[in-house]
Structure 1
Amino acid sequence: MNIAIFSPNQNPYSETFIQAHKNYLKGNIFYYFGSGSQIQLEGQERLMPLLRYKILRVFAKLFRKPSAYLWQERILYSLKVNNIDAILVEYGNHAHHLLPILKALQKSIVVHFHGYDASHRDVISRCNNYEDVFNVATYIVAVSKVMNDNLLKMGCPKGKLVYNVYGPQPEFHEVHPIFNKKQFIGIGRFTDKKAPYYTILAFNQVLSKHPDATLLMAGDGDLHNMCKNLIRHFKLEKSITLLGIINPKQFRTLLSESLAFVQHSITAENGDMEGTPLAVLEASCAGVPVIATSHAGISDVIVHKKSGLLCDEHDVDAMAENMLCLLDNVNYAKELGLFGKKHIASNFSMERHIKKLDEILLEAIENK
């Protein structure tokens, strides 16, 4: 198969699931990134020969074509010359952006939703509740049961909808934590739905009983400075470290020496929700217990009191109690981690995720 993957951004650090699609899907991958006139094909300087593009510009001017005409024609030309069999569009709102192209093609189209695109009210409204996306797509992929239900409520035909949770990179299964530190680790964008401030507030309670415990928080985002100020306000600079952006190898190293992974995800005011956070899957795959909220896809993959400890959104006290529970009983932390490692390997592996996506793409082509 020749598969075109469309993504709004090139290789963002927080979207390792898209990198997995690029690296593991069967067939020849053509990776298109960017939006509008900025869309490029990775590894190629141009989507269309320069002379052909100049002629097209003259044609567009003479016949007063809309401004989007040129970039859309460039992409259609590129897809044709590369003999694309199927298209995988990352994010529902990006599929909406590409609708004129998708409608012009007689190709198999799979649209992969990830999180905010299926929950953020303004995004959904701007995309007209995805009515046209659902019509043009051969299959729609949801990564959590909550997302699956939301897409059905929006009008996605049940026969087109496929539930397929991410899988962690295989390297995370090779991690064997030693539980030698009173250290918690969290990683993710500092955004409303990640609510990193709640994690800080919960950990602040923990320090009254375990003053030698530490919290590492990796990532960046709009709430980063606010969290830094919160840490300064409570005088927690010696207990909490903001690491900035780290790579997967660094994350695995930190997981190997941590007591638990922590994340207090919530539904934001604008409706924005997680899909199934990949970092949660990675931590559990590594054998580290997960302390988090029963939010979106988290409770799909973390079994409460078996592979982690979950609490309600906004319940800072309960999150603090869950941290204390593992600090007071490291053997219990080891039990949770071991169950989680086996549970993820059996039910949410990268191999399973990619195999399902391969099947969807192949079936889409065969049924076109």
Structure 2
Amino acid sequence: MKNARIALISPSQNAYSETFIQAQKKYLKGNVFYYFGGAIPTQLEGGTIRLPLFSRIFFKIQKKFKLTHLSFKEYALAKSFQQQNITVVLAQYGTTAHQLIRVCKLLNIPLITHFHGYDASTFSVLQYHKNYKDVFGYSSYVVAVSKKMEEKLLSLGCQKDKLVYNTYGPQPEFLEVQPTYAKKQFIAIGRFTNKKAPYYTILAFKKALEKHPDAQLLMAGDGVLFDTCKNLIKYYNLENNIKLLGVISPSAFRAYLSESIAFVQHSITPLTGDMEGTPLAVLESSAAGLPVISTKHAGIPDVIIDNETGFLVDEHDVTGMALKMIQILDAPQLAVKMGAKGKLHIKSNFSLEHYLNGLEEIIAEAVKK
């Protein structure tokens, strides 16, 4: 494993919501080469995949006489893999893996496909990528981050012996947070998208304010529904109780966790079929020692024990979520009890070390094959 030369492929570099990819880049054993810039990457961190003039001319000649079926991007990537002596490719998202198959086949490099959420659930994405038939066929291993995703990938045709359930782990700094539960304050963080349904969180909190008018809700993140939520807050005159923080750093998130009473997120499956994998913010919040109030969606029930480390309600159950918020506000000692159980549960079962060890095992096996 230490000698593995891993091409870590991500569509975008350092996306703030993709901290799990940054953890792989930073902590995986072996030599990690981080490629990014589209499904077929055009950039290599700390290096280049730009072809010299001779190679570009040679490619054009091959293309003219139909001696290659590769696109120019694929050809350049293949040359880079050869230059870096890549021994295994770890593709982030099934959509990325789909685009890399021809290059991996040409060079006989094993491919590990890491699904994350939308790529395993959105109807249009599955249709476009033909239910990942080719991805499942070529991949040495396929990683699912939730039990629900595991079931879905099996139903699409992934071979059971290739499928690995391996949920993310939070950065160790979140386990170091010691919450004081000092404020009647809920914290939410994530992209403002349909599957996270931030408007439902706002509506549930509005109901909770009827009994606890001094409660606060902090919402961090950005996305297509940000303005919608801002308008909703203004319409209901909730500006004094709900603060939209925008995109914040992990350290700022930990600071808010340390003073809040619970983490809240009302994830749903929208009409597009798009689902979460296992939301990292849920894991981070539970690791920090806060109870999580969320929904029975995707991988959330895998990591949050209902009525023990948090509360889970049905998707779209705004009233149910409000009642759980009220229950925590009525009895802050419950937050302390649930939070302590949650911290222990995450530390014991979903640590970052456990997640990385799982990846390293299949990388080593793929290279052996």
Tell me whether 1:19 sits opposite 2:25 in the alignment.
no
Distance 1:3 1:197 in 2: 41
- CA shift at 1:86, angstroms? 0.9
Residues 36 and 53 (structure 1), Cα distance of their counterparts in 2 relative to 1, 3 Å cut: farther
- CA shift at 1:51, angstroms? 2.5
| 2:259 alignment partner in structure 1 | 257
Q: Structure 1, residues 265-315: CA drift from partner, whole Å, max 9, x if none?
A: 001111110000000000000001100001010000000111001100000
- CA shift at 1:70, angstroms? 1.4
Distance 1:262 1:320 in 2: 10
Distance 1:123 1:58 in 2: 32
- CA shift at 1:65, angstroms? 7.5
SS at match of 2:217: strand
2:176 to 174, 177, 186: 174
| 1:159 alignment partner in structure 2 | 161
| 1:312 alignment partner in structure 2 | 314
SS at match of 1:10: coil
2:296 to 294, 297, 301: 294
- CA shift at 1:34, angstroms? 1.5
| 2:124 alignment partner in structure 1 | 122
1:9 to 8, 12, 15: 12
Distance 2:110 2:228 in 1: 45
- CA shift at 1:17, angstroms? 0.5
Residues 99 and 61 (structure 1), Cα distance of their counterparts in 2 relative to 1, 3 Å cut: closer
Q: Structure 1, residues 52-81: CA drift from partner, whole Å, max 9, x if none?
A: 343235425643678962111111111011
Amino acid at match of 1:4: A
1:330 to 329, 332, 339: 332
| 1:95 alignment partner in structure 2 | 97
| Residue pair 1:183, 1:258 contacting (<8 A) in 2 also | yes
| 2:226 alignment partner in structure 1 | 224
Amino acid at match of 1:11: N
Unaligned runs of 5+ in 2: none
Residues 15 and 70 (structure 1), Cα distance of their counterparts in 2 relative to 1, 3 Å cut: same
| Residue pair 1:308, 1:336 contacting (<8 A) in 2 also | yes
Residues 127 and 58 (structure 1), Cα distance of their counterparts in 2 relative to 1, 3 Å cut: closer
1:269 to 265, 268, 271: 271
Distance 1:206 1:226 in 2: 21
Residues 338 and 73 (structure 1), Cα distance of their counterparts in 2 relative to 1, 3 Å cut: same
Which stretch of the first structure deviates more once superposed, 30-39 or 171-180?
30-39
| Residue pair 1:60, 1:70 contacting (<8 A) in 2 also | no
SS at match of 1:194: coil
| 1:73 alignment partner in structure 2 | 75
| Residue pair 2:197, 2:267 contacting (<8 A) in 1 also | yes
Distance 1:325 1:267 in 2: 26
- CA shift at 1:48, angstroms? 4.2
Distance 2:167 2:49 in 1: 33
Unaligned runs of 5+ in 1: none
| 2:44 alignment partner in structure 1 | 41
| Residue pair 2:39, 2:95 contacting (<8 A) in 1 also | no
| 2:148 alignment partner in structure 1 | 146
Amino acid at match of 2:104: L
SS at match of 2:195: helix
Tell me whether 1:353 sits opposite 2:355 in the alignment.
yes
- CA shift at 1:38, angstroms? 5.7
Distance 2:173 2:151 in 1: 32
- CA shift at 1:198, angstroms? 0.1
| 1:132 alignment partner in structure 2 | 134
Amino acid at match of 1:27: G
Distance 1:295 1:102 in 2: 34
Distance 2:41 2:20 in 1: 22
Amino acid at match of 2:170: P
| Residue pair 2:282, 2:300 contacting (<8 A) in 1 also | yes
SS at match of 1:267: coil
| Residue pair 1:179, 1:256 contacting (<8 A) in 2 also | yes
Distance 1:163 1:61 in 2: 41
Residues 15 and 36 (structure 1), Cα distance of their counterparts in 2 relative to 1, 3 Å cut: closer
- CA shift at 1:102, angstroms? 2.4
Q: Structure 1, residues 18-53: CA drift from partner, whole Å, max 9, x if none?
A: 001101110010011022676211111x31442234
1:243 to 235, 242, 245: 245
Normalised by the length of structure 1, the TM-score is: 0.97
Distance 2:259 2:98 in 1: 43
| Residue pair 2:40, 2:96 contacting (<8 A) in 1 also | no
Amino acid at match of 2:235: H
Normalised by the length of structure 2, the TM-score is: 0.96
Amino acid at match of 1:327: L
| Residue pair 1:37, 1:68 contacting (<8 A) in 2 also | no
- CA shift at 1:99, angstroms? 2.4
